[in-house]
Structure 1
Amino acid sequence: MAVAFFSVNSESGLKKLDECLLTRSYITGYQASKDDITVHAALSKPPPPEYVNVARWYNHIEALLRISGVSGEGCGVTIEGSAPAEAVATPPAADTKTSAAEDDDDDDVDLFGEETEEEKKAAEERAAAVKASGKKKESGKSSVLMDVKPWDDETDMKKLEEAVRSVKLDGLLWGASKLAPVGYGIKKLQIMLTIVDDLVSVDNLIEDYLTAEPVNEYVQSCDIVAFNKI
């Protein structure tokens, strides 16, 4: 079902958009889509910080556009005085192969959800192809989506994120993040990062820095949710 917004650059329009994003991460559905690109393009400038939910969403979409692009089709969105959704250009994503079953199943296309069997298979095929060719791009980059889990519900998640971002390495760039519920009052940090393949290994980043002192005071474990070559 198409969604309509009224003049998102006005105070009333921004307020409505902020209320809409209070309980959701994206304009429609469970992954970034052309609907998010349409609304993002309709904004004449970054939203004021007092519109907390809009600002959080805007920064997240900005990060996705820089790192991996947005490939979801969305449900359709219209904005008074803006171009139709199909007229908005969308940067290509790292991997746009999805099956019809994935399009119909929201759980499979959740950006911050569990990696699907299809995604795992695709990642294995890409790794096998690189190994078989024996070639490696110079200074290649990868975008990574990671789950960072605290020790318990008493862990200060703000300090946890500060500890994670305090890890600074050549070839490592931290991106957008958000907190997501795990259960029993516990939340996890979901964070995006970009690495230069020749300089940073994600496995070493986790083992030597994110789960080692002093960061492990807050971090119990880290899981790679998605890994895409740029």
Structure 2
Amino acid sequence: MAVSFSDLHTEAGLKSLEDYLSGKTYISRDQLTRDDIKVFAAVLGKPGDAFPNASRWYHCVSSHLAARFPGKAAGVRTGGQAAPAEDPKKDAAEGDDDDDLDLFGDETEEDKKAAEARETTKASTKKKESGKSSVLLDVKPWDDETDMKKLEEAVRSVQKEGLFWGASKLVAVGYGIKKLQIMMTIVDDLVSVDDLVEDHLTAEPINEYVQSCDIVAFNKI
């Protein structure tokens, strides 16, 4: 139920609130709702003795908010309005996190979408802040008859989030055997080099070409 009153900064406005609260504990009679919070935000301070109903109501709402949000009751925001804060500088320093307070668990679709957007932004930021590493691998074939072109194609076929293959070259080992040296860049939080080698590079079907893999260099970027 949406309830509105005339200017609550004036005596006439407080009188209308006083009359409305006659026989009621809250705006919606017996239960504290968003209407109480919105009206509370519009009242400059506790009504005087000339308005006993409004004064009693103001005390009840203030006590509820103080218990639920210690130290922040005077600055709780609702629907874009804010009750007068005791210390504006302190409220400004604390930020506007209270804009999204769901005082009564009555979350709207807009609230849910805003919350999801914040979570997505946090996750994206976390990924951007994750460290990266540059890794040089030695990939060794079974013998001199291994097709090194197919070996490299098999290695590069491994695709994972946070894995980026770089330059490569063939290096002679001896007895006509060559090994593949290949660079890769990884996002540390997303890729484990040990798991990459064990679960992919030396597992089927790539192990048809690859005998073993060694980490030659591992450097944080």
With structure 1 as the length reference, what TM-score do the two structures score?
0.40
With structure 2 as the length reference, what TM-score do the two structures score?
0.42
User: Which has the higher relative contact order, 1 or 2, with Cα contacts under 8 A spaced 6 or more apart?
Assistant: 1
Question: Which structure's residues are more often helix, by fraction?
Answer: 2
**Structure ID, larger Rg:** 2
